[in-house]
A = this chain, B = another copy of it.
Amino acid sequence: MRSTSRAETFPAHTPAVAQIFTTVLSHGPLTRLEVARRAGLSPAAVTKAVRPLLAAGYLAEDADGEARAALGRPANLVRVDGGRALFIGVKVTGDEVIAVLTDLCCRILLARRTPLTDRAARAVLTTVADLTHELRTAAEDFGAPVLGLGIAVSGDVDRAEGVVRYSPFLDWRDVALAELAAMTTGLPVVVDNDVRALTVAEQWFGAGVGLSDFAVVTVGAGIGCGLVIHGQVVSGAHGVAGEIGHVAIDPAGPLCHCGNHGCVEAIAGDAAILTRMREVTGRQVTDSAAAVALAHEQVPGAREVFARAGEAIGRGIATVANLFGPERVIISGEGLAAYDLFAEHILDSFTAAAFGSAARCDVQTRPLAFEEWARGAAAAAIQSFITSSPTPTGKG
């Protein structure tokens, strides 16, 4: 997180405050007593932590809960005032930049997309700055300040340093994106890997709320995976983790760009599906939509291409489940457009390949709108805003 201007910070002077706030953020309006139970604190601590947050406007008190227990003093529900602060999330792909404006509860207020003609860092930075400026201007209508900018990039990203180590799609190496973007926008900036950002969004605002161990699998051009273990997003000792796309499941499978045979991505990635679809049907298929159409038109062999892809994904998920035993796996990604073609095969092969209790893992799917990646970036910015302590506390 870099910032040039002295930006507004979150008044979380103690871990307990941050924890209480995130509890309210994730679990909707709650009574103070309920918050105390969920956060493992005493009610007194909650009262004390909530007061400054109310005063600062980050929390609000609902007049009254509708459905009330007949007896006793009525409870006052505490909720996050989403309108108190705004955030911008940006996803940079090889072709375009997508930006969203969200509130503190990570609800999307506005979305913008701009095609990208030049992938050089400088050009991308300009586009990001322009979009940010545009959304910031629009944000004035909402009467709340924009307090952070999150940028999601695929590849090897060092979030702590704000540096994109290596992004194959953009052909970037060691770009200090957070620092550059902070200078041009004047906002605190978080840069993170796109899948990890999406995982943060699920952890705080999605299907991962309340779970300490889950995985997010994204299906699309690449096959990615974000892991949350012990309540924390896994980044890997060398900054890379969750490479489910390059889990090799079939030595006899097609050659992957990573040099191995039978990676999940080499079977179920968009490009792989297109290639195979061309081989099988003999037709010119140039995009995923066309491939899906062929399958829906019952063109001979077309469905089998998706079946094979689904099977590969299912086996990849089973591998994840066998290795760390998540409570839930959330499947998402642009590739889900073809989910009706996949679903059964994913689940079947997952069930077959999951060992013992790992099969008890709950496999869900979640549609992924095009702005969702950018929302992930916003979630990362929100997370950083809340947890980045104003007091310089090191961690061992």
Contacts and interface: CB of A to CB of B under 8 A. Distances in A.
Interface of A: 38-40, 156, 166, 211-213, 225, 227, 229-230, 232, 234-244, 246-252, 258-260, 315, 318-320, 322-327, 352-353, 355-358, 360-361, 394-396
Nearest to A248: B353
Nearest to A231: B230
A252 B253 CA distance: 11
Contacts of A260: 352-353
Contacts of A323: 225, 227, 241-244, 247, 319-320, 323-324
Nearest to A263: B355
A232 to B, nearest CB: 5
A246 B225 CA distance: 20
In the A-B complex, the 8 residue pairs with the smallest Cβ-Cβ separation, listed nearest first, are A236-B325, A40-B396, A237-B327, A246-B355, A238-B357, A241-B325, A243-B322, A240-B357
A232 B231 CA distance: 11
Given A246-B322, A260-B352, A320-B323, 5 more contacts: A38-B396, A40-B395, A229-B229, A250-B251, A258-B355
Given A227-B323, A229-B230, A213 B237 contact: yes
Contacts of A248: 249, 315, 318-319, 353
B322 A247 contact: yes
A244 B396 contact: no
Contacts of A241: 323-325
A213 B236 contact: yes
A320 to B, nearest CB: 6
A138 to B, nearest CB: 38
A252 B249 contact: no
A260 B359 CA distance: 14
Given A323-B227, A323-B323, A358 B243 contact: yes
Given A249-B249, A251-B249, A357 B322 contact: no
Nearest to A260: B353
A243 B361 contact: no
Counting chain B CB atoms within 10 Å of each CB, the highest count among A40, A319, A324, A352 belongs to A324
A358 B238 contact: yes
Contacts of A235: 325
Contacts of A244: 322-323
A276 to B, nearest CB: 16
Contacts of A358: 236, 238, 240, 243
A358 B246 CA distance: 11
B324 A227 contact: yes
B325 A234 contact: yes
A234 B321 CA distance: 12
A35 to B, nearest CB: 11
13 contacts: A156-B356, A225-B323, A229-B234, A229-B324, A236-B326, A237-B327, A241-B323, A243-B358, A246-B353, A250-B250, A252-B252, A260-B352, A260-B353
